[in-house]
Every structure is written in C-alpha cells, then in structure tokens.
Structure 1
Amino acid sequence: MRTEISSLTSLDSAYTGSSYSPSTLDSAIDRAKAQLIRRQSQEGYWVFELEADCTIPSEYILMMHYMDEIDGALQAKIANFLRTQQSTDGSYPLYKGGAGDISCTIKVYYAMKMAGDSIQAVHMVKARDWILAQGGGARANVFTRIMLAMFEQIPWRGVPFMPVEIMLLPKWFPFHLDKVSYWSRTVMVPLFILCTYKVKARNPLKIGVAELFVTPPDKERNYFSHVKTPLGKAILVVERMGRLMEPLIPGFVRRKATAKARDWFMERLNGYDGLGAIFTAMVNAYEAMDYLGIPPDNEQRRIARAAIDRLLVINEDMAYCQPCVSPIWDTGLVALVLQEVDRHERDPHTRQALKSALSWLAGKQLKDEPGDWRIRRPNLPGGGWAFQFGNSYYPDVDDTAVVALALIQADDQAFAENIDRAGIWIAGMQSSNGGYGAFDADNTHYYLNHIPFADHGALLDPPTVDVSGRCIMFLGKLVNQHPEYRAVIDNCIDYLRNEQETDGCWFGRWGTNYIYGTWSVLIGFESAGVAKQDPSIRKAVVWLKSKQRGDGGWGEGNYSYHNDKIRGEFDVSTAFQTALALLALLSAGELGCPEVEAGVNYLLKSQQADGFWKDESFNAPGFPKVFYLKYHGYDKFFPLWALGRYRNELWVSA
C-alpha cells in the first residue's frame, strides 16, 4: 500500500512557516505524476515534441521544391505555422522573443513564396523590408547561401569551397572528418557531393528571390565578410587558390572521392531514423542520393524520405518539422523523476510505469554496433545509448549517464550488465582535460572553427560542464563497487572546478544556460561526494539565490548566450528553471532556506489545472548563438522532479 506522507504528523511539523499544507504539495505531485504517466507509450517510452526555429519547417518546403515532390496540403499547413511565428518587425527569430535572424527570415520568406504567398502580402513585405535593412541575401549564413546556390539564386563562388576530395585527405592533415563532431560529419559528407557537382534544384515553379538582394548576386563581392580573424582570412586565401586549381583535379580522383563519400553516408543511413538521426543530414543525404542516380523506388532512398517525414508534427490546420526526436533522453529523465517521486510512496502504478520504461531503455543500449566514437577509443567496448530511437553510430554520453543512473536506482539485477557496460564506456569516453563531450572524446581542434564553412562556430564537440556533471552523477553511484572510477571522478571534478565562473555559476552548453549548467554540476558534486560546505558549492549557492525573482521563481533567456552579463536573468520566471534552481539548492543542502520555500510556492501557484506547467520560452541551444530548441517535456517533468525531491527532503528531516 502507498504510504500517504501527508498523514504523518512528524512531516506536518516540517511545513511550519510555509504558506501551503502537506496535502497541497501531495495533490500537486499526484496530478502531475498522473498526467505524466498517461503520456507514456504502450512500448514504455516517453517522447515529447522537440521544436526548433522556423528554419527547419522552411527547409522542408524547400526540399519539396528542390525534389519536385510537392505535397500541397502539407505545404499549406507548414505555411500556416510559419505565418504565426513572425515577429512584429517582420523578422523571424532563432527562439521565441529573440532578435530577428537574417538567415532564418530568408528561408521562411522563400518557403512562403514557394507556398504561394504573394510578395505584396503584408507579412511578406515586412519580412523583405527587414531582410534588406540587414544587408540583404548576401549577408546570410553559409548554409543559407548553399541553399540559394542550389536554387540558382547566387553564384557558387558565394559559398565555401568544399570539394569532395576532402574525403581523401590523410588523418594528419589539418582538416579531416575525424577531427570534427558527429553532426558536422553527417551534414558535410553528402553536402560535399552536392557542392562539388553544383547541383541544381528542380524548382518546378521557377521561383526565385532576387528581390532580397541589395546588390545583384552576380555582382556581389562580399559573401565572406563574416570572416574576420587572421587565421580565417588565411584559410580563405587557401580556399580560393583551391577553387582556381579545381579544374586540374584528375577525373579518376574525383570519382574515387565521390564513391568514398557515397559509401560513407550510405553505410550510416540508419534506416527509418535517418543519417545521424538529424534533419539537415537526412535531407542532404536524400538529395545526394537523387543526384547520384539512386532511383525513387530504391528501398534505401524510400526509407530515407520516410525518415524525414517521421519528424513532422501535423495538426488540423498547421504543421512543422522537428530537427530530431528525443525519446531516450525524455524517457531517461522521466524515469529519474518518477523514481524521485516514488522514493517513499511505493505506488504500484508508478512502479509499473517505471518497469516498462526501464525495460524499454535497457533494450536500446548500443553494445557491439559500429560507431564513429571508436575513432579515438578503438578498443573501448560499446555500452552507450543514443538520443533518438535509433542512432547506432553515435551514442550520446549525456543520455548514457542519465539512463544508466535510472537503471542503478531500480536496484534490479536484470540490469547489471547494462550498468557495467555503461560504466566502462563512460569512463573510457573521458577527455584528457577530465571533462566530457556529448558524443566524442578530445574533439578539440579549435582552429577548425575559423574555416569559412564554420560561421556557426559549432564544428566541434569539446567537453562541457553540463555533460561532465551528469557523468560523475552516474559514476558516483558506482564508485563504491568500482573504486577504479575514483580517479576518473576526481579528474572530472578538477575540470569542473576550473570551469566555474568567477561569480559562482557554470555555463550550460546543452540547456539554457547558467542555471542549467549550475544544476548539472551541483547534482554531479552531490553524487560524487563533494562536501556541501565546499567553497565552490557555497559560491554557486550564493549565485543561485541572488538570481531568484520577486515572485519566487527563476528564469533565464537564451540571450545570456550572447551577453553573459545577464547570466541567470530573464523577464519572467519559468517552471523549468525554477525547478532546476530548486534541485541545485537541495543538492547543496539548502532545505529550509527562504529561497527554496519561495521557489516551491512558485511552482505550486503556477501549476495548471491539468497538472502540468507551461513555459513559452525555448529552453536549450542546439548550438549557442545560432540554433535553439524547445524541449516540450521540460516544463512538464522537471517541476515534478523538484517537488518530489523537496517532499523527500522534508521526509528525511522530519
């Protein structure tokens, strides 16, 4: 039977001074938990929508016109969605409430024009005027200019020189595929083919966007004005020399390089989950298959298109396309949430939901599959989990730490092998500085971020504090039985201490932002046994408390990635970041402080009637400054996690 915590008089006394009763807290937890369990799939997983900016749905329309595979009804729904996302100044931002982004706005404008919107329509005029005021189409980023070149809107000299012969470069060469991140590899390899052969979109309606250019594209001479550093300018000179010498490349060399690129991405097509399981790589591969003459009825090509379509979210009147899906990440986090909530309840419905989820997760572990992470760790046995339903070449360090911790906490010998494999894999993926990257180890060739192609500044996968914090969160639970992990943990702790900001917080690479980073480190420190009076923890606590808003909540916007002087600040509180701040403070032993009480009150007051919470803001970067995400599950399960942890802390203290 479930133990009703609210019936315990010893716990009642712990609420003295609070503005809510034990039954209020219990009710809030029960409603959120019931709603969350109702969202579980029959197979045992959870997956919430993962929304990006309007670039992705616009690119879906552009892909349909590139291939001349236009679904008019679907296109109309995507266009409906795009129109609702426009800012008042006519632009399209990278996240809700953000500043307009010229590349995103160009793609949306082009997509809406392809969908039939008149260029005289008010929303089109506003978008066009805004684009021209920013300098016009020539100021777009590299990916947008490549799209414009494929649609014959700018000359190919307006994009970086990326010959397919890059596939033949030796490993010692300054640029090699092995030196960049997984997402860069999967995007770039099919793109080498598209750019080398200067492909032309079918564009059956022959729609162009000449009106978006201040200077006619053929006369424009400043496509690379974004290259500012001496190293970048030097590389640009070498690139231009390479373009001049391209006619001298022997035909047999080009054919060999093309075949190598084709074989590379075809080997990694990843079935119905797609190349890299990310939209941009999947579209590039699909278009490259078309150029290479793979017929539409070919099974691999058909599945490649189906993989793209599985990213669509289609409603009655609107639709958009996700950049990828996050079932293993969502399910691992929800499992941790429900384990926290059920730590003392022993509720049979919760236990059944957890059993189903953990069994599903255990079956998704990648063990002996080939993986590009073995480039740097060739002898390391498999043991990781992906982020998506399937991504066998690219297990995710962060997901692995979260899922493996949930399996440990289940205290079920059936998962012993999964846990052991995960421990060996996580320990083996540590970078030389003690930290952890998301998919790779020692992926730190920072000079590559200066090449003209890398105007997004995200070509690499270096160690980050948030992933590192969760790795020691997991390993800290194993170290008593596996003392060999102590050195791994200690090295990671040293890395995290070195990365702490002067004001006490930590940067959040994969979640917005310093609140997320600080939470990640403090839960890792707690699991690793760092004393709660440790100076770095005390400094972080002071910082967190200083960022609490007047309503008791916390909030942080993505603008803190652009201006770190406003770290931990936002114009509104969010349930997501309030939950993170509470979890961080409780990890640091701050139960009973006024800030925790006020934060709990905020969550109780902001809970909706259906049991969930609702934040409008985007809550994570794909790549800081250039690509942002909204995990639709974060405002549903993180607040429940915080309330569950708070109640359990009261139980222990009562």
Structure 2
Amino acid sequence: MMDGSSSLARDRRPDGDAAQRVGNAPTLSTAMERTSNWLLSQQATEGYWCAELEGDSILQSEYLLLLAWAGREQSDVAQRLSKKLLEQQREDGTWAQYPEAKIDISSSVKAYFALKLTGHKASADYMIKARDAILQAGGADAVNSFTRLYLALLGQIPMEICPAIPPEMILLPSWFPLNIYRMSSWSRTIFIPLAICWALRPVVDRSEECSIKELFIKQPHQWPELRCPGQEKAKGLFTWDRFFRTADRCLKKIEKLRLRPLRSRALKLCEKWILDRMPKSDGLGAIFPPILWSIVAFKALGYDDDHQAVRYCWDEIDKLMLHDEEAGTTRIQPCKSPVWDTTITLRALAAARHGADEPRMRKAIDWMLSKEVRDQGDWTNNVRCEPGGWYFEFNNEFYPDLDDTAMALMALQEQLAECGVSLEVHPGQSWENTTIVTTSNKVSADDAVSQAVLLDKVSGATKRALAWSAEMQNHDGGWGAFDKNNDAEFLCKVPFADHNAMIDPSWPDLSARVIEAYGLLGVNQNSRGKLGDVVRKAITYIRDNQYEDGSWFGRWGVNYVYGTWQCLVGLTAVGIPTDDEAVQRGAQWLIDTQQQSGAWGETCDSYENPNLKGIGTPTPSQTAWALLGLMAAGHEDSDAVRRGISYLLSTQKEDGTWDEEPYTGTGFPQVFYLRYHYYRIYFPLLALATWAKKSSETKEGSR
C-alpha cells in the first residue's frame, strides 16, 4: 500500500453555492435529451467533435517571444496576443498556471518580457505591478529551464546559464542507459530541436532596446540550480543529482574548447529525426512547444523563411490559434483534442441511447476508424508488434497513446452495443488464436452489407489495438501513455528535467482505463492466455498503488477524484466484485469527500499538497467522475449518488450545458494544467445516463 495523507475535515471543504442552481431542476430524461441535443449540434461535418483545449498564459507569451526573435513582434497577431496576455493578468499583477493558483514565476517573467517586446512601457501601472510581484517571488532568478532558454535566445542571459542539451545524445544507442528514447515522448520531441539550438546558438540580442534586467535580483551566473518542483538537493557522496550537474559543467567546458568531433554528424541526425516525424503529423509531436522550437532549429540550420519545413511549422501553429474578433484578441491551444473529444462524446451519447445505427454516429465511427495508427512510431524502440491504437490529435501517427486507444475501444464497443451488436474477445494462448466474435440482433436486409463492412473494420482495429496495448504493458503491470518501461527515474535529476515530465512511467488511472476497455470486450481476471495474464498483472499494480485512505492518484486528470473514479471502474470492469475491500475503500473515500451541495471538486493544488486531496470548488466534471466511480462500486442507489445526480440536474443550464471555470485536466503536475471545454458536457451526460440504466429508482419509473 502507498502512504497517503488524509483529507481535511468535512467542514473545511467548500460548500456548494445555492446561487448557482438555476430555476427548477429538469427531469432526468429532459436533462439527458438537452445535453445530447447540444452535443449533436456541435458535431463537425466530417463527423468528429473537438472543443477548445485551454492552457495558461505561457502559450501566448512563448509565441510572442518567438515572434520577437523572428522580428515580427509588431505584427497584428502579436498585438492581439499581447492583448490576451493583459486579459490573463490577475489583480495582483501576476500570471499563473490556473485561475486560483499562486504566482507562477516563469509564466509571469515570460509575460512581462513579451509585453515589453510588443511595445508596453515598463512605466505602465500593470507592468509595475507585475515587476513588483515578480521580484517579491524571487525574480527572474527563479525561472525554469525553458524560460532561461527563451531569455538566452533573446540575449537577456548567456546561454551558459541554461542546461546543456548536447545534440550528440542522438548518437547514443537504444541499449545505452542514457539515450533519447529513455525520455518521455514529449520531452524527446522538445529535446531534439532544443539540442540544435543549444549547439548553434541562434541568438537575436534584444538586450539593448528591450532589457528585463529590472527583474534580476542577482547576476545570472549566481542564479539557483534547476531541479524538478518539490525536489531538494540530494545528499551523499554519489547522487544522480550531483552526477548530472557535474556532467553539465563538463559539457559546457568541452563546448568552450570546441572539442566536438561528432557535432556535424549529430546535427544532421537531429535534423533528419525532426523531418522524418513531420509527415502525418500536426507538427512535431503535434504539440505547441516542439513545433515552436522546430522553427528556431530550422532557421539555425540555415533554412530560409520560404522553406517548406519552416512554413509547415508556422502553419501548424496558426491552426492552434483561436481568434476573438469582438475582443480583438488571439489565444493559442497547446494542441487539439479531436480523437479524445470524439471518443468520450460517443460514449456519452451511446449511454444516452444514441447508437451506431444512427447516421451521425456512424459518421463519427467512420472518422474514428480513419484515425487508427497503421505506421510504426517511436514506441517501436521497445515493442515489436503490428501498429494499432489511436492518438489524441487530428494527425500524430508517430505517437499513439494508451489513453486514447482505450477510450476508442470503449466508444466503438458501446456504440455497437447500443444498436444490438456486440464484440467479444475470446483470448487464446497467442494472438494468432485469439478471436473476436460478433453477434447482432439486426435483421434488416438493407443494413446487412453495411453492417458487415463496419463490423469487419471495427473487429480488425479492435484486435490490433488489443495486441498493441498488451505489448505496451510495463514490467510493473501498469501502463504509461506513449512508451513501454519509460521509467528511468534518474533522468528526473537532469537539470533540463525541471518541467517534471522527463519520463512516462505507469500510472494507476491510465492502467485502470486500459483494463476497463478489456473488460467491456469480455476479458477479465479469469480469462486464459496472454490477455488474462495482462489483466491480472494490471490488477496487482492498481491494488499496490492504492493509498491507505482508499484513493488513487490521478496523473491525467485532477486528481485523486479522477484517479479513484477510474480505478474503481477499471477494477470492477474486469470482474473484481463490488464488495472487494479495495473497491469499497475507494468508494468510501469518494463518499467522504462529497460536499454538502452533493457535488465533488478538487483543486490542482492537491498535486503540490496532498492534504488538499478531494477539496476544491465543485465542478460538474469531477462530480460526474465521482458518480461513475460510486456506481461502478455498486452504490447507484445510495444517498451520495442521488445527491450528486441532483446537483447535476439542478445546475444544468437550459441549453443542456454546465458552467465550469476550474481546470480539471492535467498536463504535467505542478507545471501545466488544462481546461477541456467539453469535460463539463460529456462527462455529466455519461454519469446521468449511467444512473438512468443502473438505478432501481429510475428503473421503477419514479423519474
């Protein structure tokens, strides 16, 4: 069992605000119909759903710093972005990772610098406020490694103050303990273009006309060492922390002496590595930071502005922009989430009785099937099997992930089940003798051919995804998001690793989602063969990572409410009975953290301070997660679930949506958080529809 901090007493949790309850609560069926209709109205012509994915101010700041580096800081888009930055500044003059957070020093320094570069005077009241707050919080001296790199790129500090990022690392073989494939996929895609920039130093010195030395407390060479949030300096004669800091100093001395015989070869391989991963992708890694740094890397390599690769990167960032014409602002998304949004929307609509026999649902399923990964990606460095699974964005063929793959498997299964078709896996001792059996209640001859084609496509994609996901299981029984056994914790001591995301190890929430998908396909703890072994190992991993208070950590959603929901659903989906001790302790933790309003809420601060687990402003998404967890644990007729359902009904707006301001998505704990704009829509619908099917109260027609 993992140690865990107990939650604070009930009277310290935020109460529900009665003022947010609008009008009379609708009936359950009316609420479900409203939300279903709203979601159907948002479907794209091509069949998918994709809502805004909202990050924090660093997206605007970092792009403005890039524009300034490229000499475009007076462009129209730069002015629109700077106006958005001012909107995001808080009353105390700071910028933060999410609305209720404390000051984020790196975000605030980048925002201040970006505003200054785009013409905002240091004497303006809002700039003075920002400057005072930054200095009080430790000044630019306290920024993270990425912010140092931006400051160096624009001549504010020497490049030597930044961590060494040697391109020669790409030459290290995959069997070597330290190589690029031991890093998480997202760190890897940032590391390679940064390595080119670190080697070639494409600095555009803006220190004369636009210095931010007023934010420095000490000279840059006296700035503190970089390390992950919450990590203290390790003690002892030999530590990985000391080893990597010594290596960092040695690399910088070697750089000064120009002792780099392999530099040219390494740079060519880095360049090729990026170019090879651009086809079938919304930019390198399909996420904002590596796309941005790819522009700098290509320019450093001598590419002109009209080069196809450079234009491609600028275009992909343009696609991430959202323009508010009324406000005259522009904001940037870290990436787009169409596969994720579509799979969960399809699950919610299936629960609300919209199945694959409906033309709109069929169109969405066809779109989903078109996004199945069929090419090999970075994951092949540790895994040898046929490609399968799904990614998160519109195009990201090199990086399928276990989360989207599990959600896609469940969406396909539940959509088919809603129209009388089922897929069931019959595990064999090997993949060659594992079969998928389909049964159908359909009798219409008109649909027979179309249905046969659909079932053939879904069966093939399902079998490939099952094989791929099973091969991706880590040695501890869990799963990471993108890679197998990506758990070299010593890499978290590298100075560059202070973004708290250097590795991609197993997490209980993600692992439970994978086995939930298996369970829906008929694979459980008693199944024979390879899949049965996979499930049993995962169950052991999930049990071992439950906290003493009954909760589980949530890596990809905020936080213990998210993790506990998913683990309860995953365990029971593969045959763990609801009276199992782990299941009931998890359910009891959810009951104990329910607020007086009937809702649940948890702040992102719980990642830094576990004493805040289960505590925060109530949200519809977190309330839905808790309800789904409790219903999986057999509490569908409990008072806690009825109160939670009442909360969702009473706070639903007339158009079928809910309001939700807090961020409930996690990018990197203590570093970057997300607000998925559909979380407040499809998760409540899924919870309401699940209760409609499970509760004896609804079955008896009392609603």
Give 1:266 shift: 1.3
Partner of residue 257, structure 1: 266
Partner of residue 396, structure 1: 401
Alignment of 1:376 onto 2:382: yes
Alignment of 1:26 onto 2:29: yes
Task: Write the mapping of 1:459-608 to structure 2, written as runs, cut at 5 A.
Answer: 459-479=502-522, 483-484=528-529, 485-570=531-616, 572-608=617-653
Alignment of 1:151 onto 2:162: no
3-state DSSP class of the match of 1:508? Answer: coil
Q: Is the 1:366–1:395 Cα contact (8 Å) retained in structure 2?
A: yes
Alignment of 1:314 onto 2:323: yes
Partner of residue 82, structure 1: 85
Alignment of 1:330 onto 2:336: no
Match of 1:116 among 113, 116, 119: 119
Partner of residue 145, structure 2: 142
Alignment of 1:458 onto 2:458: no
Partner of residue 134, structure 2: 131
Instruction: Render the CA deviation track for 1:100-159: whole Å, top value 9, x for unaligned.
Output: 110000011111112221111111111111111122112110000011111110112211
Letter of the 1:354 partner, please give it: M
Letter of the 2:193 partner, please give it: P
3-state DSSP class of the match of 1:476? Answer: helix
Letter of the 2:649 partner, please give it: L
Q: Is the 1:272–1:307 Cα contact (8 Å) retained in structure 2?
A: no
TM-score between the two structures when normalised by the length of structure 2:
0.86
Q: Higher mean Cα deviation, 72-81 or 601-610?
A: 72-81
Give 1:76 shift: 2.1
Match of 1:292 among 290, 301, 308: 301
3-state DSSP class of the match of 1:613? Answer: coil
Partner of residue 444, structure 2: none
Give 1:497 shift: 0.3
Alignment of 1:339 onto 2:385: no
Alignment of 1:618 onto 2:663: yes
Alignment of 1:634 onto 2:675: no
* Structure 2: distance between partners of 1:422 and 1:574: 33
Instruction: Render the CA deviation track for 1:401-434: whole Å, top value 9, x for unaligned.
Output: 1101111221351311111111111111110111
* Structure 2: distance between partners of 1:181 and 1:254: 24
Give 1:250 shift: 5.0
Q: Higher mean Cα deviation, 223-232 or 551-560?
A: 223-232
Q: 1:552 to 1:23 in 2, by over 3 A?
A: closer
Q: Higher mean Cα deviation, 174-183 or 204-213?
A: 204-213
3-state DSSP class of the match of 1:228? Answer: coil
Alignment of 1:439 onto 2:441: no
3-state DSSP class of the match of 2:479? Answer: coil
Q: Is the 1:67–1:203 Cα contact (8 Å) retained in structure 2?
A: no
Alignment of 1:278 onto 2:287: yes
Task: Write the mapping of 1:423-438 to structure 2, written as runs, cut at 5 A.
Answer: 423-438=466-481
* Structure 2: distance between partners of 1:283 and 1:595: 47
Q: Is the 2:156–2:205 Cα contact (8 Å) retained in structure 1?
A: no
Partner of residue 449, structure 2: none
Letter of the 1:262 partner, please give it: E
Q: 1:382 to 1:97 in 2, by over 3 A?
A: same
3-state DSSP class of the match of 1:273? Answer: coil
Letter of the 1:332 partner, please give it: T
Alignment of 1:50 onto 2:53: yes
- Identity between Structure 1 and Structure 2 (%): 36
* Structure 2: distance between partners of 1:205 and 1:641: 56
* Structure 2: distance between partners of 1:286 and 1:99: 32
Alignment of 1:366 onto 2:409: no
Q: Which runs of no fewer than 5 residues in structure 2 stay unpaired?
A: 1-22, 422-453
Partner of residue 11, structure 2: none
Q: Is the 1:271–1:307 Cα contact (8 Å) retained in structure 2?
A: no
Give 1:203 shift: 5.2
Give 1:650 shift: 3.2
Letter of the 1:620 partner, please give it: G
Q: Which runs of no fewer than 5 residues in structure 1 stay unpaired?
A: 1-19
Q: Is the 2:390–2:405 Cα contact (8 Å) retained in structure 1?
A: yes
Give 1:318 shift: 1.7
Q: Is the 1:338–1:641 Cα contact (8 Å) retained in structure 2?
A: yes
Residues matched between the structures, number: 627
Give 1:388 shift: 0.5
* Structure 2: distance between partners of 1:459 and 1:588: 35
Q: Is the 2:406–2:517 Cα contact (8 Å) retained in structure 1?
A: yes
* Structure 1: distance between partners of 2:506 and 2:476: 8
3-state DSSP class of the match of 2:331? Answer: strand
3-state DSSP class of the match of 2:364? Answer: helix
Q: Higher mean Cα deviation, 393-402 or 405-414?
A: 405-414
Give 1:249 shift: 4.9
3-state DSSP class of the match of 2:478? Answer: coil
* Structure 1: distance between partners of 2:113 and 2:223: 23
Q: Is the 2:98–2:662 Cα contact (8 Å) retained in structure 1?
A: yes
3-state DSSP class of the match of 2:520? Answer: coil
Q: 1:224 to 1:461 in 2, by over 3 A?
A: closer
* Structure 2: distance between partners of 1:569 and 1:22: 25
* Structure 1: distance between partners of 2:219 and 2:24: 68
Q: 1:429 to 1:59 in 2, by over 3 A?
A: same
Instruction: Render the CA deviation track for 1:468-489: whole Å, top value 9, x for unaligned.
Output: 0110011112345984311111
Q: Is the 2:227–2:497 Cα contact (8 Å) retained in structure 1?
A: no
* Structure 1: distance between partners of 2:397 and 2:227: 39
* Structure 1: distance between partners of 2:160 and 2:621: 45
Match of 1:417 among 460, 473, 477: 460
Letter of the 1:413 partner, please give it: L
Letter of the 1:632 partner, please give it: H
Letter of the 2:579 partner, please give it: Q
Say which structure, 1 or 2, has more relative contact order (CA 8 Å, 6+ apart): 2
Partner of residue 647, structure 1: 692
Q: Is the 1:548–1:554 Cα contact (8 Å) retained in structure 2?
A: yes
Instruction: Render the CA deviation track for 1:597-639: whole Å, top value 9, x for unaligned.
Output: 1101100111112210011001112110111111111001111
